[in-house]
Structure formats: C-alpha cells, structure tokens
C-alpha cells in the first residue's frame, strides 16, 4: 500500500513497536509534537535523532532528574537502557518516513550561530 511505502512499513520492527508503546503509554505527545502533531511545550521530535544523536537522547530518556538544560522540565522517566534503545529505534524509524518535506529546512540556519 502507498501509505506503507511512504511511512517505511518494511522497517517497522518489533523494537520500533515497543518504542511506540512506550511513547503512547507515557503520553509524550502531551508535551512534544511528532510529525507535527501533539503539544507545543517541548521540542518537535520527528528529526531528533539527526539533531541530537543517540547518546544525547539516551541521556535524556534515562535521566533520573527532570531534564531541563534550556529551562523547561521534562518528566524524569529514568528509563532502562533497553527501553531507551526501543525509543531511539522508534525515533529513528519516524525520522526515515517520507513526510513530503516536513519539517522545512530553515532558510538562514547557516548564517546564525546557535548553541
């Protein structure tokens, strides 16, 4: 099916699905957006693997205190290594779906110095 082709159905492994279960059971969508859907309180996560890399993400997910380098607090889930890997697999899969160009590439990124 076409939806499948766009959404990378063939790479939908059991690990990705376990990640999705964690994503839903904890209502991460109540703070974050994914594929542009969800809440507007915390970063959009469609391209988070590309943006932060696996190590950073695992630090966020396994943190035992609320993660908040930029001020806002995330819930301190303190996930196990295995759970964190499942979530990273889920975000990797999401990052590989063909979203017709979303999120847009910023026009001026190269000229601005972001931390």
State which residue, 8 or 43, has the beta carbon closest to ligand HEC. 43
Residues 2-41 that bind ligand HEC (CB under 6 A): 22-23, 26, 28, 30-32, 41
State which residue, 100 or 110, has the beta carbon closest to ligand HEM. 100
Near another protein by CB under 8 A: residue from 15, 35, 62, 83: 35
Q: HSE of 48 in the Cβ direction (CA atoms, 13 Å)?
A: 25
């Amino acid at each position: 099916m076409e939806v499948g082709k766009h959404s990378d159905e063939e790479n939908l492994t059991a690990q990705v699905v376990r990640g999705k279960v964690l994503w839903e059971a904890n209502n991460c969508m109540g703070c974050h957006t994914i594929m542009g859907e969800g809440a507007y309180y915390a970063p959009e996560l469609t391209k988070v693997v590309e943006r932060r890399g696996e190590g950073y993400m695992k630090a966020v997910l396994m943190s035992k205190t609320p993660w908040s380098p930029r001020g806002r607090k995330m819930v301190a889930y303190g996930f196990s290594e295995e759970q964190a890997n499942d979530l990273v697999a889920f975000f990797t899969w999401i990052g590989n779906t063909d979203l017709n160009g979303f999120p847009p590439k910023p026009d001026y990124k190269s000229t601005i110095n972001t931390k």
